[in-house]
Amino acid sequence: MVKVCSLTCESLENPLGLPTMHPRFSWIIKTGINSAFQQKYHIEVSEQDCVVWSSDVIESGQSVFVPYTGKPLQYATKYLWRVKVCVADMWSEWSEYAWFETALEKWNADFIEADDKPEESCVKTFRKKINISGELRSARIYATALGLYNICLNGNPISDTLFNPGWSAYNSRLLYQAYDVTDLFTKNSNVLTASVAPGWFKGDFGFINNRSYYGSKMAFSSQIELHYADGTYECISTDDSWQFSDSPIIYTEIYHGETYDARKENAETWKAVTVSPSTNYNIVPFDGVPVRRKESFKPIAYFTTPKGEHVLDFGQNIAGRVRFNVRGNSGDTVKLRHAEVLDREGNFYIENLRDAKCTDLYILKGAGIETYEPAFTFHGFRYVCVDEYPGELDPQDFTAIAIYSDMKNIGNFSCSDSLINQLHSNIQWGLKGNFLDIPTDCPQRDERLGWTGDVQVFINTASYLHEVQAFFRKWLRDLAKDQMPDGGVPFVIPDILNNLKPDSDNVILNEKHSSCGWGDAAVVVPWTLYIHYGDKRMLEEAYPSMRGWVEYIRSKAIDNLWNTGFHFGDWVALDAKDGSHFGATPNDLCATAYYAYSTELLAKTAEILGNSADADEYRLLHSKIVCAYQSEFFTSNGRLAARTQTGHILSLMFGLTPEKFMARTIDTLVELIEENGGHLVTGFLGTPYFLHVLSQNDRLKEAYALLQREEYPSWLYQIKKGATTIWEHLNGILEDGTMRDPGMNSFNHYAYGAIGDWLYQVVAGIVPLEPGFSRILISPKYGGTLTNVEAELNTPYGKITSAWKLHDSDFLLNVKVPPNTNAEICMPNGETYTVGSGEYSYRCKIT
C-alpha cells in the first residue's frame, strides 16, 4: 500500500495569503514497501471545483519543492491541490486535498490613527460597524499596523495568533496577515474592533533606552473583502468612517509589562480617526511563522522568600506570560513581577533584567471571577512574585503560558544519561524562549534583539530541533533589506542600531555592524537551511546578500587577512581577561578564519546555482585566504600562534590547518583541555565546533568527557545548578551560588546550546549526505557512559530514526529510513551498508 500525506505548499500547511505566485508543492510518502522510491507523480490544482492545472503523469522521483507550472494564478484566490504517486509500479490513491490562498495584488487601504502621543504607551481601539446584506460565500480580513494589533469581530478574536504583524525591517517592508472570517460574520449588523499597541514600532526598545525608533504614532490599516453567494463583491477599507477609543490597556511595553484597568471595559468614548496614506510603507504578505500560545504550566510551588516575597515557581524558564483568575472588589489590584532565578538566599532576583520592569498590573472591576492575560507583552521567567493580590491566593488559579513562533518540533533525542536528556531539553527551551517572530538573544532583559552571531552559531542545531525554514526565510529577507550598501551586515536584524548616535561609552553603538562570526550569518544561515531542506530557491534569493558580505570583507582585508575593524571575536569566552567579555583568541585569527569559511560556502553556492565564473573566483579567493592564514598563524614547525582552544578549533574545523600539522594541532588542543582541568574555556565562536573537531580527529573519548563533565565550567554544571534553559555564560551562577555581573547575565540564551547538533550528528549519527536528507548517513559513535540512545528526525521526506544500545560486548543499532531516500549505515566496527527505505537492525562486536 502507498499513501501520500503531509502536503505542504512552500513548506507551509494550507497557507492563507501565500507570498508568492509561483508556489512549490511537497509531500511525504508512506508505505510498507522496502527501498521505496517514487517513480511518477500527478498533481491537480483546482479552483471552485474547476481543475486549473493538471501536471499529468510525470516520471520523476521529486517529492519536495515541485513547482506549479500551470497558467498564471489569480490574486486573493483559494486553490485546492492534491497529488498521487507511483511507487514500485503501484499507484496511490489521490491524497486528501490541501489548499493555499494567494495574497492581494497590492495594498489599497490607508492607515487610520488615534490621538496617542509619542511618549504614551497605551493601547487604542479602532471600530467599524459592518452590515452584511446577504449570504456570504467568503470573507477575508487583511490587516497590518504600525505597532501590534489584535482584531475582534463581534467581540470574538478572529485568530489565535499573537504579536501581529510581527517585527520586520519596517522601513523596507511592513507585513500584513490574512484571515478567513467567513463564519464569524452574522447577517445584518457586525462590529469589528482592532486594538493597537506600541510594540516594536513605537515602544521602548533596545538596551540604550531608545524609543520610537521607527515612528512616534501608532496606526492601523485593513482591507475587508466580502464575496456574496449571488456573485457580488464588497471591499471595506480603513478610512474616515472608522472611530477610535481608549482601551482598558492603559499601559503596555514589551520590556516593561502591561497595566489593564478592567473598570474601563465598555466605557468607550468613540472619536473620529485621522487618515494617513499607506504609500510610505512597502506593505507585503506575511512570510514568517505566526506566534501562538503553546505549552502551559501550573505552579510546582508557592512559597515565601527570606525577604517576605510571595513567589510562584512554574518549574520551567520560558518566554511568555501568566493568565490568572481572581475575585475581589472594584479597584483591587493584582501585581506580578517576573524573574528567571532566585539568588543564593532564595530571594527573587531581578538585577539581570537591567531596565526591563517585567511587571503586569491588573485592576479589578469587581464582578465575580475575573480572568486576565496580558495581550501585547511577554516576559522571560520561571518565577513570578505576587506583590499585590486581593484575598487568599490559590496557586491553581495561575497558569504560565509559553509563547513562541509556531514551528513544528521535528527532532527528539534521549539517552541513558538523565543529565544529557535535560541538556537537550534546555537547548530546546532555549530555542522556544527566543524564537518569537525573530531569533532573539534573550527574552527577559531590555534587549531581545536579533543578534546575528547567536543565530549563526545555532542555526544547525535549530534545524535539527524544529521546522525553521519559513521562520528564517522571513529573517533573511530582513537581513537583506537592512544590509549596508557596501555589504556590511548589522549586528542585529532587524537593525535598530545604525541610525542611533554613536556613544563613546558603548562600543556597539560606535561600530554597529560587520563583526566576524556575526555578519557571517548572511552566508552560514542560508547555506545551512539549504543543507537541511534542499531548497535551491532560498539560496538563489540569498545569493546577493551572501556575495555582498564576502565582498565587504574583501574590501577590508589586507593581503587576504581580515585584520581590520571591530570584532566581538570569541565572545564571553572563559579565557578572557578579568572584567572583559572578549576571549583570548586574537580577532584577526577569528576574522580570517570566518572569511575563509564564508568564502568557501559562497563558492559552493555559486556552483550549485550554475554561476561557474563566481564559483571559480571564490574558490581562488578561498585558496589565497587559506595560504595567508597558514603563513600568518602557523610557524614553520606547526605551532599555532594563538595558543587557545578556540584558535585550534577554528583552524581544524574550517580546514585551515596544513595537512602535515594536523596531528600537532589536535594534540595541542587536547593539551589545552588538560591544562584547563579537563574543561572548555571557549566562547561563542569556539564552543559550537569543539566536540565536532574532537570527534572528527579521532578524539571521541575527549569529546564525550567534555560533554558529560559536571563540574564548572561545563554544560552540565548549569543543570546541576537547576537550569532549565541554556545560560548566556557558563558561570551565570557561580559555584558558591552568587551571580556573576548582572549587566549581562541572561539565563535563557541559546548560543551555547549550539552543541545540540553534535548529539544528533555524532551521538545518534544522523547526517545529511545530500541536501534535504535525500541521502542520509547514519553513523552513531558510542562513548562516555552512555549505554543507549534514541533519536528521530522528521525530514522533508519523512522520519529518520537511529536507536542504539550496548549489550555486553555487542553494539545494537535500529534505524528507520523514509521512502524516497537511501542511507549509508556505518557501524562502529567499520562495517557499512547501503539501504533504501525501511526498518533495519544491525549488530556488531565492540572492544
Query: How do residues 634-656 score in pLDDT, each as one tens digit?
Result: 999 999 999 999 999 999 999 99
Pick from 654, 652, 680: which is nearest to 666 by CA? 652
Of these residues, 10, 101, 253, 447, which one is catalytic?
447
Percent of the chain past pLDDT 70, that is, above it, reads 100
**Domain 2-102 - what CATH class?**
mainly beta
Q: What is the DSSP letter of 506?
A: B
Task: Give the Cα separation of 788 and 766 in Å (integer).
Answer: 15
Task: Indicate if 447 belongs to the active site.
Answer: yes
- Please determine, for residue 733, whether its predicted confidence score (pLDDT) is greater than 90: yes
Pick from 648, 644, 561: which is nearest to 599 by CA? 561
Determine whether 502 is exposed, middle or buried from the number of CB atoms within 10 Å of its CB (0-12, 13-18, 19+): exposed
Pairing state of beta strands 822-826 and 775-778? parallel
- Please determine, for residue 509, whether its predicted confidence score (pLDDT) is greater than 80: no
Neighbours of 51 (CB within 10 A): 11
Helix axes 645-653, 587-608, angle to 10 degrees: 20
pLDDT band per the 50, 70, 90 thresholds, residue 205 = confident
Cell numbers linked to 543 = 545569493
Task: Give the Cα separation of 73 and 79 in Å (integer).
Answer: 9
pLDDT band per the 50, 70, 90 thresholds, residue 268 = confident
**Residue burial 26-49, b: 16+ Cβ < 10 Å; e: rest:** bbbbbbebeebbbbbbbbbbbeee
Locate cell 522571560: which residue?
380
Average pLDDT of span 486-513:
84
- Please determine, for residue 498, whether its predicted confidence score (pLDDT) is greater than 90: no
Average pLDDT of span 322-333:
98
CATH architecture of structural domain 767-845: Sandwich (2.60)
Query: If you compute the radius of gyration of the chain from its CA atoms, what whole number of angstroms results?
Result: 28
Average pLDDT of span 681-705:
98
The pLDDT mean for the chain works out to 97
Assign domain 292-405 one CATH number from 1.20.1260.10, 3.10.20.30, 3.40.50.720, 2.60.120.260. 2.60.120.260
CATH architecture of structural domain 411-763: Alpha/alpha barrel (1.50)
Task: Indicate if 659 belongs to the active site.
Answer: no
Task: Give the Cα separation of 468 and 476 in Å (integer).
Answer: 12
Q: pLDDT for 552-561, tens place per residue?
A: 999 999 999 9
DSSP bridge partners of 313: 301, 383
Task: Give the Cα separation of 288 and 494 in Å (integer).
Answer: 14
Determine whether 658 is exposed, middle or buried from the number of CB atoms within 10 Å of its CB (0-12, 13-18, 19+): middle
Neighbours of 752 (CB within 10 A): 27
Beta carbons of 452 and 270 less than 8 angstroms apart: no
Average pLDDT of span 250-275:
96
pLDDT band per the 50, 70, 90 thresholds, residue 502 = confident
Pick from 584, 574, 577, 576: which is nearest to 732 by CA? 574
CA distances from 189 to 128, 143, 192, 700 (A): 11, 21, 10, 70
Task: Give the Cα separation of 333 and 351 in Å (integer).
Answer: 25
Q: Do domains 2-102 and 292-405 have the same CATH topology?
A: no
Determine whether 758 is exposed, middle or buried from the number of CB atoms within 10 Å of its CB (0-12, 13-18, 19+): buried
Beta carbons of 426 and 340 less than 8 angstroms apart: no
Of these residues, 44, 101, 340, 728, which one is catalytic?
728
Q: Is the dihedral of CA 202, 206, 207, 212 positive or negative?
A: negative
**Domain 111-286 - what CATH class?**
mainly beta
Task: Give the Cα separation of 839 and 825 in Å (integer).
Answer: 12
Q: What is the DSSP letter of 819?
A: T
Average pLDDT of span 272-278:
96
Task: Give the Cα separation of 662 and 693 in Å (integer).
Answer: 11
Query: What is the helix (H) or strand (E) element at residue 369, kind and residue range?
Result: strand 369-372
pLDDT band per the 50, 70, 90 thresholds, residue 504 = low
Q: For the whole prediction, is pTM greater than 0.95? A: yes
Locate cell 575563509: which residue?
596
Percent of the chain past pLDDT 90, that is, above it, reads 96
Write down the domain spans for the chain.
2-102, 111-286, 292-405, 411-763, 767-845
Beta carbons of 132 and 190 less than 8 angstroms apart: yes
Q: pLDDT for 567-577, tens place per residue?
A: 999 999 999 99
Query: What is the helix (H) or strand (E) element at residue 325, kind and residue range?
Result: strand 310-327
- Please determine, for residue 184, whether its predicted confidence score (pLDDT) is greater than 70: yes
- Please determine, for residue 778, whether its predicted confidence score (pLDDT) is greater than 90: yes
Output the CA angle 734-737-741, nearest 5 degrees: 50
Cell numbers linked to 28 = 511525504
